[in-house]
Structure 1
């Protein structure tokens, strides 16, 4: 079964639609208003589009690109829309993706919406303009306009009330000695280590993709093409290396949209990563990918994409080689797509965001490209390549089990953030026990999938790998007990935290420590006990936060300091399902003039972190005195010795003061 549209929506259109909201807007809208009668007005939208971009009509067919919608802004009364807007300059355009004819504007659009007053005392009308603009990428245009009945139109300007101003001011701390915070992130070498780690994982993912039926057979064919079709061997080798370089560049380019997104608002990636429904979406898509690896159906991009790229590759020269590399990326998507989907999901739901995605994509592309370059330089190596066979499908099935295991991490994230209390630590580990038991049985030939070849004899590698998987299952099993033999520290960050247990725990703080989840309450306790504060910006879905708690905080010397010497304040920036009391909800006016609605505890603490510490990553640790004096530089994800020395330094500075 070929599923074309699922992929174009889930990966490419997803990434490019996010990019579009951050790049220069390809549509410019000018407005005017014209009086028709005492109670009716025509609001006119004149839009100009960049060349090659399309705006979709309000009459665009269902199950295609999003249609234009003009509506009243929320809670507006005293006037109403008179039917749909009048449109000029529309065209019909066939879409290969949706396989239907769409109605679009190109280059310019004139849209006139008639408004009827139901209250003659109205002096302003407020409309929302929503539409989708696409080229190779898609942008959702969502703009508010305010029109005076004298004929002027301006973009919506929001003013916050006194309550919001007061509550916004309460978020800002009168911190002292803040110069220590300026270089905190620059001095944290773990950031570079994290990028290297994700690069390495991306590289491993690329190597695994090489060992799939979609990619492996193409290596000798492509290398032979370059070495035989070129006028001389030197030229053939150069072309093959250039081909590999273009593969790396193509995968890096896929990550660039997220850098624009990251720069637009430092909180956006955190909001994306901790969104309950997005985590459920990632769970669904990874399960979908897993079953494609099992062989129950095939995922491909629209065949027209590959055909167009293949035609472009015949141009020759450098441009032709680039399109050959792009063709490889498209036609191999049924095998590489699930791995890329995992990389995309994992990067968006991690603290590194866009940089980690670029590092991962670079590693993935490099691993795919290396064989083409190396075998072009040393053609005799082609003879040492193993022949294609059933082992390629075995690789896909193994990857399918790994995709399923990863999928449940995202379901766990959703459960933690939403506080459903359904997906406890022991349940998560139990599911992994079942999955990896299934993988072991598959490797030993006890389970078969649709495209598996008959097994005459188990290979040494397959038996060895099956034994390793069985050992891993044995390692997992104690994690389902109330008092496990070991705490699965090597898996920290994947299962839910230890306090999220079916057996219950005295405290819902990490490791059973005493902590405060409200800054003002923790500050009052610090003043009362005359102890320094460890301010812990964390998250329910934060992998590195769990690693710090279960690998670093668990150290006896560090645990004792945390328990006895500091007041721990843990602020969960992704607690977006737990609403603030109504009297504490407010509109926060950001520096760029936009308003962020503070409705949940997650909204409050993520904003609190950004405005006071100019940082939006987690974990993020700050030591301060009860009078809000910073004791040393901030700390992030690090090792035990560094963290222990940092805590001791903070204590010494506090005692001096």
Structure 2
């Protein structure tokens, strides 16, 4: 299964033409020419390959990764090849993905080609090389070699963009002063904190999964099996603890294939997470999950999978057998855990930081919560007597989860709506649908209607009544938010921002602050009024951006500083609106890599990457009108820290 996931991810990533380290090139080339005689020369092309990477031989299997291919321009007319292109020592290894033996180079590769000159007047040999370099994903690359026959070092031609693109590309590069501040005081605390938040959410999801009918009955059954079927009590406890460990391990391993994205071009993950069609796909998947929780159908993995795992656990026995038992649990419980894990996967695309790292943290937290009762009840088997009996309350848990799935599904529809500028799901409409869901869930919990898998309701349990009142309170809170009696700060980042409203707004900027969404326009205004710039890298689908705006920017001590003392430039790095044709161009990085800039997201995302070596949002920079960096950059922050950061910038501007 892991192999299938890895292959699918490889197929998804490869078309993007991913690059490993932003502007860094994983392969550096050197070349030399050796004169053999008056008409014969030896051309040598040597590659230094970055540690952890490898590039493929000319002779690797045609059914695997792409081989290196040389094109000798002028061969047969001005010169001819003597034999083929020779290679230095290679490595052969079987590929699980392509199921063939592949031939590749690590650390370095040397190619040698002898030629015979046919036209004595020529002084230059041009060679084009296409090759593939891989780490966890593969990057197709091109290289041009130019050899001069007098032995001088050839010049590499990397310019592949026209003059117009070069001019437009240079406008994206800022001549920043005091640039060393950009590498100081980076807000790394928020990222580590964010990982623990994701772990906590995963742990909470695992606890909820324990209350579902697919998992809950398995706890006493499994613990009893280990404690009663072991010759020694200590052996049974060890086996149960090992069982719990394997549950955590399985969910941890399921997240690892997503780390294939770690080596992708810096903006690929942001592009995927804010992609309109991917968000729509998440929306429909969550609706599908929700109706399975409502009891209209059941999600299950093929029964043959569970049967094979169960048979393997019985046949093998020992530690390996316990591992297969844990795999069997993961498969059998999928109908209940699948939608929760889907929510976890979707939630990681809304969180700041590395998607793969977030997912690993969440999946590990989920596995820990799921494994915890098996370990605890093995240590303290008497606690089993205190467990509530299985019953209709577990069905109620699934229905409540169904309502929550629909609420989360709307967030992805909202992302697609804002990024695509459709204007369909404005803030009031979004909250209105959440209010309807809240009312529907409240009425269900009070027993006023049922779903297909609900049994007869004789008496409402205390827990169900308490949940109903909580649902009612949350619904009232939403109503107060729509009517502007409260500001819904507890939900910051989930509903669309206040300026994305059905009612006409003075400004399409956060909190009604006058802002610019084009850097050059904002810079010109800053020079005109002689005010410093608050450069805000943000996104329509950025949850943490909304939290900062609604919780920190709105504070009475912070808001007037931004409004009165700074020129706000908000650049949306997930805006898919096409640029006018006259503003579209190809941007050339220092490494020679060329990137197409055709929409707003590509323009401002590249602008952020090139000038500030960052691709995360929110991301804030303070600049003077003459492009002096006024303070260190900052991301998520509390109110006092952000206020002091702004004031320090004003002080440094004087």
TM-score by length of 1: 0.78
Structure 2 unaligned spans of 5+: 21-51, 57-63, 72-90, 104-125, 145-157
- CA, structure 1 residues 512+321, in 2 after alignment: closer, same or farther (shift >3 Å)? same
Which of 425, 434, 447 is 1:445 aligned to?
Answer: 447
**Could you say what secondary structure the match of 1:255 adopts?**
helix
The Cα shift of 1:594 comes to 4.3
Counterpart in 2 of 1:628? 627
Counterpart in 1 of 2:650? 651
- CA, structure 1 residues 555+318, in 2 after alignment: closer, same or farther (shift >3 Å)? same
Counterpart in 2 of 1:479? 481
Q: Which moved more, 1:227-236 or 1:198-207?
A: 227-236
Aligned ranges 1:21-60 → 2 under 5 Å: 27-30=64-67, 51=94, 53=96
Distance 1:29 1:588 in 2: 26
Aligned ranges 1:453-468 → 2 under 5 Å: 453-468=455-470
The Cα shift of 1:285 comes to 0.4
Distance 2:240 2:159 in 1: 56
Counterpart in 1 of 2:85? none
Deviations 1:444-500 (CA, angstroms, capped at 9, x unpaired): 11121111111100111111110111111111113333xx11111111111100001
Distance 2:331 2:641 in 1: 45
CA RMSD of aligned residues (A): 3.4
Query: Is 1:391 aligned to 2:428, yes or no?
Result: no
**Could you say what secondary structure the match of 2:66 adopts?**
strand
Deviations 1:329-379 (CA, angstroms, capped at 9, x unpaired): 122111111011111111023222222222211211110010011111111
Distance 2:174 2:379 in 1: 61
- CA, structure 1 residues 19+33, in 2 after alignment: closer, same or farther (shift >3 Å)? closer
Counterpart in 1 of 2:171? 170
TM-score by length of 2: 0.79
Distance 1:32 1:529 in 2: 57
**Could you say what secondary structure the match of 2:516 adopts?**
coil
Distance 1:539 1:162 in 2: 31
Which of 408, 411, 419 is 1:409 aligned to?
Answer: 411
The Cα shift of 1:273 comes to 1.1
Distance 2:6 2:496 in 1: 30
**Could you say what secondary structure the match of 2:255 adopts?**
coil
Distance 1:13 1:211 in 2: 34
Distance 2:593 2:230 in 1: 57
**Could you say what secondary structure the match of 2:490 adopts?**
helix
Is the CA contact 2:252–2:363 (under 8 Å) kept in the aligned structure 1? yes
Structure 1 unaligned spans of 5+: 35-47, 56-104, 110-123, 130-138, 148-156
Counterpart in 2 of 1:361? 363
- CA, structure 1 residues 331+596, in 2 after alignment: closer, same or farther (shift >3 Å)? farther
Counterpart in 1 of 2:555? 555
Q: How many residues are aligned here?
A: 557
**Could you say what secondary structure the match of 1:536 adopts?**
strand
Distance 1:262 1:342 in 2: 21
Is the CA contact 1:226–1:237 (under 8 Å) kept in the aligned structure 2? yes
**Could you say what secondary structure the match of 1:216 adopts?**
coil
Q: Which moved more, 1:171-180 or 1:286-295?
A: 171-180
Q: Which one has the largest radius of gyration?
A: 2
Deviations 1:5-59 (CA, angstroms, capped at 9, x unpaired): 9x999x898667658888989933337899xxxxxxxxxxxxx99647465xxxx
Is the CA contact 2:199–2:361 (under 8 Å) kept in the aligned structure 1? yes
- CA, structure 1 residues 158+385, in 2 after alignment: closer, same or farther (shift >3 Å)? farther
Distance 2:210 2:11 in 1: 29
Counterpart in 2 of 1:231? 231
The Cα shift of 1:141 comes to 8.4
Counterpart in 1 of 2:183? 182
The Cα shift of 1:311 comes to 2.9
Counterpart in 2 of 1:211? 211
